[in-house]
């Protein structure tokens, strides 16, 4: 198990190297236009532009730029933002807590409610409760996040004026973004945990537990819950990239001062150092989440642990 | 009526029907069966797969798979109390305590991700019979069924056990609370031949020690011959013949029973070709009118196809009964 | 007691045809095909004289613009109708793109085995850990935002899902006798792949594609909404919501109607997909 984890960490590190390289060349080499063109005032002279290019190291050959970048990156220096002149890494890290707060809450809400509804749905299968849960899950899967966010903003922000629809502040600022971001996950986890629970509830060891006279709620909570969580946990890893996409959308709509918001503004301003750091950060998060999922998986399923 | 006052009587089933309401129609898995089991006897229930043996036993436990399955009619009397009228909680207290059951495949009847100790402990935890520590009781359960070094194995997970060992654990759990009735649903089918006889020996010993009655479900007549005193033959959701074991082997009355017995290879006797019953078992979805076996029976009369035969008593103390028009 | 009650209860048999889903999908496809004749205006037609009109049933609305008009005086109803074609075309193009890549990769992986299999599967892993939005951001910064960009982004982001399923199918089909026979009969690998395996996975693919159309409509609309996809004046539903967003305080209809349109279309395809899965994929290989 430990060796396996070490191997995974090593592969993760390699993946990040690959990602950083690809992004570097895609943006610097294949990039459409000179980023300095946007940054300078319209009346700037070609000399001004040259000076700016030299300042960012854009005048050197590409390979030299690449090696310089990699060398600095390994020391934790990811260059300066073209736009703000601040170190790109700091700029991104400043925004990170806001994003983690939003995405973490949304993931937690979606997962816990999804599991809860899905399991209730499975246990009370084919009852009114189950029907309602299934219809809601079906609708939840069909509403795009941005549409839900706008609907909620329209109803609770504009029409009822109960909740703020922009920026970060107290708890009231969190409600709409978190709910609209968690809904897709909630629906998906509901569906998955329902079907997984139904499958588990039909298995022999569940019947066996009941034969022993274990109360049904204990059978569900001890025997079935742990077993049916395994596919759900794997699913978290699989859908984490979708969570990131959702995060970008929601931060943009609610002007949430997080990384997702920053990446959208940076990309339109061709602020490549910042984009690069963010891409790297996201792939780091994807890799670590998958690692975390694997560890949880091994914790839940001793068969993996003893392999 | 005479049977009702019989003190020996443990379980009596009357007109039990368990149906599955599926998308394709109603599956009559158990379609009106009657039988009784006396205290401390081992009764065999035989029949080919799909004839409704497992559903019969799950019906007794009141654990028919929901939501499709439902007991639609009948009585299940345990010591003259109808189990079908018990509340869920009363029924739970009976399960694992007064009636217990062993499933076919030991590898899937234990939860693979919970320790054996926990799973054995559950038998005691939910029935108020507390004396001694839980761990000691669990170790005793394993000792009882001859699992080597029980103190160590108790910390293991089921996937670290072999199939035979798993079945020992399951049997141990089944008899832990000295039940009055143990239902064994094909306890040896999923095991190797060598292990099979060990498990049977174990069950026989256990039965002698605890005095539990055993309903031994199997499709293997050799097993029946080895440990049962009476046998019942199930076909397409109904019991077609009941007989003491020796009578059954000597003079089987139902054509299906005859077929079953002929299809068993006899040790030491060289036979050219095994007899096998021609044709397919009938679908329980739309059972034919009349006797379900008629289409495969080479002695079928006209009435066999149109009307289900009554139960006919063949001997003076009513131990041998058959549902077949040939004996009417 | 127990059974008397149950006997009376009529058990419902659960094989209903999902009329809601089918009618949503049917309506959607109808608009796609006959939209040009139904829509009162062209999607680019604008009229400054009648801008920001509310829907007909509100004060100031007119029957000439049933669902109101936007900031340029364009008819929302007409744009929604034309938008259906954009949505479906882009979604189908995406699926065609990654479906093809995915199926080919899956067939190769499942049939060749060995190193090919390993490389493709590792590639899948790598790919699946890449958020679509990141790919979109990178490609958009290279090519600029457009419908084509969206198709390429989604096309290269989505193939691993198909590849895995097709591979799994291949592996199980490979065990079948008729494939072995075909081999013995001297069919080439390639021939076997297409003439024997393909018909066997057709059902799976039909279900998968139906379920995917909904997802693709959402994803492409999301990209358009973020300004990474189709550009004005296209009547893409996501783009319409993006444009309407600025007026959310005054003109709710610019946001609500496209949103509802997406919801209904996606809901329809999801329901029909679930239904198809139930009748075509009884073993529930797809979940
Ligand atoms: N969950 C279920 N849904 C529908 N039909 C079932 C279900 N379980 C069992 N059956 C039907 O009940 C019949 C009897 O099954 P079972 O009692 O398991 O047979 P046996 O144990 O004798 O092999 C089978 O023909 C099967 O079709
Ligand atoms: Mg069985």
Shortest distance, CA A161 to any CA of chain C (angstroms):
11
> Does B33 contact ligand 1 (Cβ within 6 A)?
no
Q: Show residues of chain A in contact with B123, CB under 8 Å.
A: 212-213
Shortest distance, CA B34 to any CA of chain A (angstroms):
23
How much is the pLDDT for A69? 85
Residues 10-49 of C with CB under 8 A from B: 11, 13-15
CA B275, B279, B283, B284 torsion: positive or negative? negative
Task: Report the pLDDT averaged over residues A57-68.
Answer: 81
Collapsing DSSP states into helix, strand and coil, what is residue B95? strand
**Ligand 1 centre and the CA of B98: distance in Å?**
25
| Residue C13: pLDDT over 50 | no
First to last CA, chain B: 23
A209-213, B27-31, C177-181, C260-264, range with the lowest pLDDT: C177-181
Collapsing DSSP states into helix, strand and coil, what is residue B162? coil
Chains touching A (3+ CB pairs < 8 Å): B, C
pLDDT greater at residue C278 or residue B37: B37
Comparing C-alpha atoms, which of B272, B290, B271 is closest to residue B282? B290
If you average pLDDT over every residue of chain A, what do you get?
A: 86
How much is the pLDDT for C4? 35
How much is the pLDDT for A115? 92
CA A179, A185, A187, A192 torsion: positive or negative? negative
What confidence tens digit (pLDDT) does each residue in C211-255 have? 888 888 898 899 889 888 888 888 889 898 898 888 888 888 888
Contacts of residue A61, defined as CB under 8 A and 6 or more positions apart, other chains included, come to: none
Contacts of residue B92, defined as CB under 8 A and 6 or more positions apart, other chains included, come to: A213, A214, A215, A216, B126
Which ligand lies nearest the alpha carbon of B234? 1
CA distance A56 to A80: 8
Q: Which residue reads 């793109």 in tokens?
A: C97
Indicate yes or no: CB of B73 within 8 angstroms of CB of C3.
yes
Task: Report the pLDDT averaged over residues C141-163.
Answer: 83
A27-65 b/e with 16+ CB inside 10 Å = b? bbeeeeeebbeebeeeeeeeeebeebeeebebeeeeeeb
The bridge status of strand B69-78 relative to strand B9-22 is antiparallel
What confidence tens digit (pLDDT) does each residue in B132-160 have? 788 888 998 898 888 899 889 999 999 99
Contact A271, A82 (CB under 8 A): yes
Does an H or E element contain A84, and which? none
Contacts of residue A23, defined as CB under 8 A and 6 or more positions apart, other chains included, come to: A275, A276, A279, A280, C138
Nearest-Å Rg of the Cα atoms of chain C is 24
Comparing C-alpha atoms, which of A67, A88, A57 is closest to residue A24? A67
> Does B281 contact ligand 1 (Cβ within 6 A)?
no
DSSP codes of every residue in B12-41: EEEEEEEEEEETTEEEEEEEEEEEEEETT-
- Dihedral Cα A18, A20, A26, A32, nearest 10 deg: 180
The bridge status of strand B321-323 relative to strand B69-78 is unpaired
Q: How far is CA B221 from the centre of its chain?
A: 13
Which residues partner with B250 through β-bridges? none
Comparing C-alpha atoms, which of C190, C144, C147, C200 is closest to residue C170? C200
How much is the pLDDT for A187? 93
Indicate yes or no: CB of B73 within 8 angstroms of CB of C2.
no
Task: Report the pLDDT averaged over residues B213-227.
Answer: 89
Q: Which residue reads 């996975």 in tokens?
A: C201
Q: ipTM of the assembly?
A: 0.87
C-alpha count within 13 angstroms, C-beta hemisphere, residue C181: 4
| pLDDT grade for C138, boundaries at 50, 70 and 90 | confident
| Residue A8: pLDDT over 90 | no
How much is the pLDDT for C283? 58
Return the structure tokens found at B222.
């050799």
The percent helix, strand, coil of chain B (3-state, each to 5) is 35, 25, 40
Which ligand lies nearest the alpha carbon of B190? 2
Q: How far is CA C261 from the centre of its chain?
A: 14
Contacts of residue C3, defined as CB under 8 A and 6 or more positions apart, other chains included, come to: B70, B71, B72, B73, B74, B84
| C2 at B interface, C-beta within 8 A | yes
**Ligand 2 centre and the CA of B54: distance in Å?**
4
**Ligand 2 centre and the CA of B18: distance in Å?**
15
Task: Report the pLDDT averaged over residues C256-278.
Answer: 90
**How much is the pTM?**
0.83
Which ligand lies nearest the alpha carbon of B55? 1
C-alpha count within 13 angstroms, C-beta hemisphere, residue B165: 16
| Residue C184: pLDDT over 90 | no
| A30 at C interface, C-beta within 8 A | yes
> Does B103 contact ligand 1 (Cβ within 6 A)?
no
Residues 272-301 of A with CB under 8 A from C: 275, 279, 282-283, 286-287, 290
Indicate yes or no: CB of A209 within 8 angstroms of CB of B122.
yes
CATH 3.40.47.10 fits A88-306, yes or no: no
φ, ψ dihedrals at B264, nearest 5°: -90, 125
What confidence tens digit (pLDDT) does each residue in A138-178 have? 899 899 999 999 999 989 988 888 888 888 888 888 999 99
CA distance B239 to B321: 10
The 3-class secondary structure across chain C, one letter per residue, is CHHHHHHHCCCCCCCCCCHHHHHHHHHHHHHHHHHHHHCCCCCCCCCHHHCCCCCCCCCCCCCCCCCCECCCCCEHHHHHHHHHHHHHHHHHHHHHHHHHHHHHHHHHHHHHCHHHHHHHHHHHHHHHCCCHHHHHHHHHHHHCCCHHHHHHHHHHHHHHHHHHHHHHHHHHHHCCHHHHHHHHCCCCHHHHHHHHHHHHHHHHHHHHHHHHHHHHHHHHHHHHHCCCCCCCCCCCHHHHHHHHHCCCCCCCHHHHHHHHHHHHHHHHHHHHHHHHHHHHCCCCCCC
Contact C155, C94 (CB under 8 A): yes
In percent, how much of chain C has pLDDT > 70?
A: 86
Contacts of residue B80, defined as CB under 8 A and 6 or more positions apart, other chains included, come to: B4, B9, B12
| Residue B177: pLDDT over 60 | yes
How much is the pLDDT for B4? 47
Chain A residue closest to C219 (CA)?
A144
Q: Which among B111, B173, B180, B182 is the top mutation candidate for probing chain A, defined by the most A β-carbons within 10 Å of its own β-carbon? A: B111
DSSP state for residue A52 in the 8-state scheme? H
CA distance C70 to C51: 6
φ, ψ dihedrals at B230, nearest 5°: -130, 160
| Residue B268: pLDDT over 60 | no
| pLDDT grade for B46, boundaries at 50, 70 and 90 | very high
Supply angle C-alpha C135, A175, A244, rounded to 5: 15
| Burial class of residue C190 in the structure, from the number of CB atoms within 10 Å of its CB (0-12 exposed, 13-18 middle, 19+ buried) | exposed
CA distances for A237 relative to C131, C137, C155, C215, angstroms? 12, 22, 21, 19
CA distance B33 to B17: 7
Comparing C-alpha atoms, which of B172, B203, B63 is closest to residue A211? B63
CA distance C121 to C160: 8
Shortest distance, CA B211 to any CA of chain A (angstroms):
19
First to last CA, chain A: 8
DSSP state for residue A192 in the 8-state scheme? H
Indicate yes or no: CB of B84 within 8 angstroms of CB of C2.
yes
CA distance C158 to C178: 32
Residue C34 CB: number of other CB atoms within 10 A?
A: 11
Contact B106, B44 (CB under 8 A): no
How much is the pLDDT for C15? 56
pLDDT greater at residue C51 or residue C118: C118
What confidence tens digit (pLDDT) does each residue in C68-114 have? 888 787 888 888 898 888 888 888 898 888 888 888 888 888 878 78
Contacts of residue B35, defined as CB under 8 A and 6 or more positions apart, other chains included, come to: B12, B13, B43, B232, B239, B242
**Ligand 2 centre and the CA of C170: distance in Å?**
32
| B315 at C interface, C-beta within 8 A | no
Comparing C-alpha atoms, which of B144, B259, B160 is closest to residue B207? B144
| Residue B279: pLDDT over 80 | no
Residue A296 CB: number of other CB atoms within 10 A?
A: 16
Task: Report the pLDDT averaged over residues C165-187.
Answer: 74
Comparing C-alpha atoms, which of C28, C71, C37, C83 is closest to residue C248? C71
| Residue C7: pLDDT over 50 | no
**Ligand 2 centre and the CA of B257: distance in Å?**
19
DSSP state for residue B309 in the 8-state scheme? P
Q: Which among B59, B64, B72 is the top mutation candidate for probing chain C, defined by the most C β-carbons within 10 Å of its own β-carbon? A: B72
Chain A residue closest to B90 (CA)?
A213
Q: Show residues of chain B in contact with A208, CB under 8 Å.
A: 103, 109-111, 170
Which residues partner with A6 through β-bridges? none
Output the residue whose Cα is nearest ligand 1's atom 3. B20
What confidence tens digit (pLDDT) does each residue in A36-53 have? 766 777 777 778 777 777
| pLDDT grade for C189, boundaries at 50, 70 and 90 | low
Which residues partner with B12 through β-bridges? B36, B77
Which residues partner with B233 through β-bridges? B46, B241
Q: Which residue reads 């929601």 in tokens?
A: A250
| Burial class of residue C146 in the structure, from the number of CB atoms within 10 Å of its CB (0-12 exposed, 13-18 middle, 19+ buried) | middle
Task: Report the pLDDT averaged over residues B288-311.
Answer: 84
Supply angle C-alpha B9, B13, B16, rounded to 5: 180
């Amino acid at each position: 198990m430990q060796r396996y984890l070490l191997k995974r960490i090593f592969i993760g590190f390699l993946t990040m190297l690959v990602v950083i390289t690809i992004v570097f060349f895609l943006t610097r080499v294949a990039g459409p236009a000179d980023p300095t063109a946007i940054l300078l005032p319209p009346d700037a002279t070609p000399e001004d532009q040259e000076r700016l290019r030299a300042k960012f190291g854009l005048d050197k050959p590409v390979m030299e730029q690449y090696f310089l970048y990699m060398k600095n990156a390994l020391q934790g220096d990811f260059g300066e933002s073209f736009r703000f002149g601040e170190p790109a890494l700091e700029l991104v890290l400043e925004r990170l807590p806001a994003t983690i707060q939003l995405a973490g809450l949304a993931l937690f809400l979606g997962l816990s409610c999804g599991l809860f509804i899905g399991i209730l749905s499975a246990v009370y299968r084919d009852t009114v409760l189950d029907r309602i849960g299934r219809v809601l899950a079906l609708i939840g899967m069909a509403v795009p996040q941005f549409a839900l966010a706008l609907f909620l903003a329209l109803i609770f922000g504009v029409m009822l004026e109960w909740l703020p629809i922009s920026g970060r502040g107290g708890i009231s600022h969190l409600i709409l973004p978190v709910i609209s971001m968690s809904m897709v996950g909630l629906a998906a986890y509901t569906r998955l945990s329902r079907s997984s629970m139904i499958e588990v509830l039909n298995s022999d060891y569940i019947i066996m537990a009941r034969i022993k006279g274990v109360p049904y709620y204990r059978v569900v909570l001890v025997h079935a819950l742990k077993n049916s969580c395994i596919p759900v946990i794997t699913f978290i890893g699989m859908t984490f990239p979708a969570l990131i996409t959702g995060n970008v959308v929601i931060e943009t709509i609610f002007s949430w001062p997080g990384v997702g918001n920053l990446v959208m503004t940076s990309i339109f301003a061709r602020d490549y150092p910042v984009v690069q750091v963010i891409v790297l950060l996201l792939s780091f998060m994807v890799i670590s989440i998958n690692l975390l999922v694997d560890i949880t998986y091994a914790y839940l399923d001793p068969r993996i642990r003893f392999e | 009526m005479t049977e009702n006052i019989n003190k020996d009587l443990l379980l009596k089933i009357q007109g039990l029907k368990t149906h599955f309401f599926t998308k394709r129609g109603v599956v009559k898995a158990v379609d009106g069966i009657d039988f009784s089991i006396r205290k401390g006897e081992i009764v065999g229930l035989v029949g080919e797969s799909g004839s409704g043996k497992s559903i019969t036993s799950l019906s007794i436990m009141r654990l028919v798979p929901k939501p499709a399955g439902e007991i639609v009619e009948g009585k299940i009397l345990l010591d003259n109390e109808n189990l079908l009228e018990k509340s869920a909680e009363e029924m739970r207290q009976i399960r694992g305590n007064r009636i217990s059951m062993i499933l076919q495949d030991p590898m899937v009847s234990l939860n693979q991700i919970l320790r054996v100790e926990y799973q054995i402990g559950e038998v005691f935890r939910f029935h108020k019979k507390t004396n001694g520590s839980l761990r000691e009781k669990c170790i005793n359960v394993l000792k009882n069924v001859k699992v080597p070094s029980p103190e160590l194995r108790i910390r293991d997970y089921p996937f670290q056990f072999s199939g035979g060992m798993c079945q020992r654990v399951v049997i141990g759990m089944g008899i832990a609370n000295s039940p009055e009735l143990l239902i064994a649903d094909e306890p040896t089918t999923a095991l190797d031949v060598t292990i099979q006889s060990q498990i049977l020996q174990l069950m026989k010993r256990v039965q002698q020690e605890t005095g539990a009655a055993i309903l031994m479900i199997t499709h293997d007549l050799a097993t029946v011959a080895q440990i049962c005193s009476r046998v019942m033959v199930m076909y397409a959701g109904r019991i077609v013949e009941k007989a003491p074991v020796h009578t059954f082997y000597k003079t089987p009355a139902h054509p299906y029973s005859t077929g079953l017995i002929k299809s068993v290879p006899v040790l030491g006797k060289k036979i050219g070709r095994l007899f096998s019953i021609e044709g397919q078992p009938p679908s329980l979805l739309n059972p034919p009118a009349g006797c379900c076996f008629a289409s495969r029976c080479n002695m079928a009369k006209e009435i066999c196809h149109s009307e289900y035969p009554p139960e006919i008593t063949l001997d003076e103390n009513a131990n041998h009964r058959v549902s077949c028009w040939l004996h009417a | 007691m127990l059974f008397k009650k149950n006997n009376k209860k009529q058990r419902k048999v659960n094989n209903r045809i999902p009329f809601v889903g089918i009618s949503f999908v049917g309506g959607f496809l109808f608009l796609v095909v006959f939209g040009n004749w139904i829509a009162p205006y062209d999607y680019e037609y604008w009229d400054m004289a009648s801008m920001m009109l509310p829907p007909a049933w509100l004060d100031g609305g007119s029957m000439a613009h049933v669902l109101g008009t936007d900031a340029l005086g364009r008819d929302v109803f007409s744009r929604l109708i034309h938008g259906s074609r954009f949505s479906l075309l882009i979604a189908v193009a995406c699926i065609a793109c990654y479906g093809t890549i995915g199926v080919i990769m899956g067939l190769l992986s499942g049939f060749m085995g060995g190193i090919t299999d390993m490389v493709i599967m590792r590639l899948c892993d790598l790919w699946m850990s890449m958020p679509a939005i990141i790919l979109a951001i990178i490609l958009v910064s290279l090519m600029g935002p457009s419908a084509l960009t969206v198709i390429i982004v989604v096309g290269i982001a989505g193939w691993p899902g198909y590849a895995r399923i097709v591979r799994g199918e291949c592996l199980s089909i490979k065990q079948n006798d008729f494939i072995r026979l075909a081999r013995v009969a001297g069919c080439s690998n390639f021939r076997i792949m297409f003439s024997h395996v393909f018909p066997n996975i057709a059902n799976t693919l039909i279900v998968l594609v139906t379920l995917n159309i909904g997802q693709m409509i959402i994803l492409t609309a999301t990209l358009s909404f973020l300004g990474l996809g189709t550009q004005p004046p296209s009547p893409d539903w996501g783009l319409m919501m993006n444009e309407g967003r600025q007026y959310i305080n005054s003109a709710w209809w610019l946001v609500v109607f496209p949103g509802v349109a997406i919801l209904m279309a996606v809901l329809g395809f999801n329901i029909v997909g679930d239904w198809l899965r139930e009748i075509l994929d009884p073993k529930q290989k797809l979940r």
